[in-house]
């Protein structure tokens, strides 16, 4: 066992000797791969990210209105845009989600996220929105008739009920002015590019170069030993 242990130590020592003799080869390969990684990080176009939180709007008196999962599924089917988009649900918030997009500049990222919001609100659920507008318009007409009935007839309408109806009407009319499925909050755009990441690219290039250099050095030594046999 002792002899075997000593043999292992000798083999390991010889391995380090071989690598040391090929140090310039290893350093050269590491330098080249690191240089390539740095060049790649400088040449790859910069990418910025924009994100926005949104609420799923559920207008009053509407049945079978889209759920957040429907927004995800519908958008996935639509996917025709040239940039990456991610729509996710906020944990423990069934009616809140987040949209993330990328762009080649801060302005481009912001335009892209505005486009996604427009597609969801104006195209994906256009039929549902038109149906909703009709229902809400009828609801407003009903509320107006109830108000007229209260002012023109001797029937006394419950004032609290009437106040609720007027508040409902106000909410409906506000939605009808700008029909939406999702209501976006503040758009946040990254101040620095999210891609490329020069430090990461350099580290990967450096690490890859070391392992590649060691592999080539050992392969070179193995070929040389075979030729000598």
Do 58 and 166 lie in one domain? The reply is no
- At residue 64, the pLDDT reads 57
Average pLDDT over residues 40-49: 90
Tell me whether residue 146 is in a domain.
yes
* pTM tops 0.95, yes or no: no
Do 91 and 72 lie in one domain? The reply is yes
- At residue 144, the pLDDT reads 82
How far apart are the C-alpha atoms of 212 and 210, rounded to whole Å?
Answer: 5
Tell me whether residue 194 is in a domain.
yes
Q: Considering only CA atoms, which of 68, 66, 52, 194 is closest in space to residue 114?
A: 52
| For residue 146, pLDDT beyond 80 | no
Do 88 and 189 lie in one domain? The reply is yes
Tell me whether residue 15 is in a domain.
no
| For residue 90, pLDDT beyond 90 | no
Question: In this structure, what token pair is assigned to residue 2?
Answer: 């002792």
| For residue 183, pLDDT beyond 70 | yes
Do 111 and 144 lie in one domain? The reply is no
Q: Give backbone dihedrals phi and psi of 42, rounded to 5 degrees, phi first.
A: -85, -30
Average pLDDT over residues 25-39: 93
Question: In this structure, what token pair is assigned to residue 44?
Answer: 């790859």
| For residue 32, pLDDT beyond 70 | yes
The chain-wide mean pLDDT, for the chain, equals: 82
CATH code, domain carrying 70:
3.30.70.100
- At residue 35, the pLDDT reads 95
Complete edge-to-edge strand list for the sheet that includes strand 182-189: 85-89, 96-103, 48-56, 182-189
Question: In this structure, what token pair is assigned to residue 135?
Answer: 């229902």
Comparing 129-143, 179-193, 200-214, which segment has the lowest mean pLDDT? 129-143
Do 115 and 53 lie in one domain? The reply is yes
Average pLDDT over residues 86-115: 89
Our count of domains for the chain comes to 2
Average pLDDT over residues 54-58: 81
Kindly list the distances between the CA atom of residue 35 and the CA atoms of 40, 42, 50, 94, 199, in Å, as whole numbers in the listed order.
9, 11, 31, 48, 12
Do 117 and 187 lie in one domain? The reply is yes
* 38/161: higher pLDDT: 38
Do 83 and 194 lie in one domain? The reply is yes
Do 168 and 71 lie in one domain? The reply is no
Comparing 2-6, 170-174, 180-184, 185-189, which segment has the lowest mean pLDDT? 2-6
DSSP letters spanning 31-70: HHHHHHHHHHHHHSPPBEEEEEEEEE---TT-SSPPPHHH
50 and 187 in contact (C-beta within 8 Å)? yes
Do 166 and 59 lie in one domain? The reply is no
Confidence of residue 206 (pLDDT cuts 50, 70, 90): very high
DSSP state of 1: -
Do 65 and 113 lie in one domain? The reply is yes
Do 55 and 113 lie in one domain? The reply is yes
Tell me whether residue 77 is in a domain.
yes
How far apart are the C-alpha atoms of 27 and 30, rounded to whole Å?
Answer: 5
Tell me whether residue 219 is in a domain.
no
pLDDT per position as a tens digit, 122-132: 888 787 788 88
Tell me whether residue 228 is in a domain.
no
Question: In this structure, what token pair is assigned to residue 117?
Answer: 């919001």
Do 65 and 131 lie in one domain? The reply is no
Range of the domain at 173: 126-180
Q: Give backbone dihedrals phi and psi of 187, rounded to 5 degrees, phi first.
A: -85, 130
* 84/117: higher pLDDT: 117
| For residue 19, pLDDT beyond 50 | yes
């Amino acid at each position: 066992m002792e002899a075997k242990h000593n043999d292992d130590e000798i083999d390991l020592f010889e391995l380090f000797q071989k690598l040391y003799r090929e140090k310039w080869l290893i350093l050269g390969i590491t330098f080249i791969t690191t240089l390539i990684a740095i060049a790649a990080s400088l040449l790859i176009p910069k990418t910025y990210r924009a994100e926005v939180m949104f609420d799923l709007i559920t207008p009053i008196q509407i049945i079978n209105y889209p759920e957040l999962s429907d927004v995800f599924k519908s958008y996935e089917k639509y996917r025709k845009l040239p940039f990456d988009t991610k729509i996710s649900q906020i944990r423990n918030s069934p009616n809140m989600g987040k949209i993330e997009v990328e762009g080649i500049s801060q302005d481009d990222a912001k335009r892209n996220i505005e486009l996604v919001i427009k597609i969801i609100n104006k195209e994906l659920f256009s039929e549902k929105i038109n149906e909703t507008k009709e229902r809400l318009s009828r609801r407003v007409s009903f509320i107006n008739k109830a108000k007229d009935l209260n002012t023109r007839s001797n029937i006394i309408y419950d004032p609290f009920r009437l106040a609720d109806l007027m508040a409902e009407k106000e909410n409906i009319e506000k939605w009808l002015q700008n029909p939406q499925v999702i209501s976006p909050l503040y758009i946040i755009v990254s101040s620095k590019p999210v891609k490329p990441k020069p430090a990461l690219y350099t580290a990967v290039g450096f690490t890859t170069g070391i392992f590649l250099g060691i592999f080539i050095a050992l392969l070179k030594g193995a070929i040389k030993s075979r030729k000598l046999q």
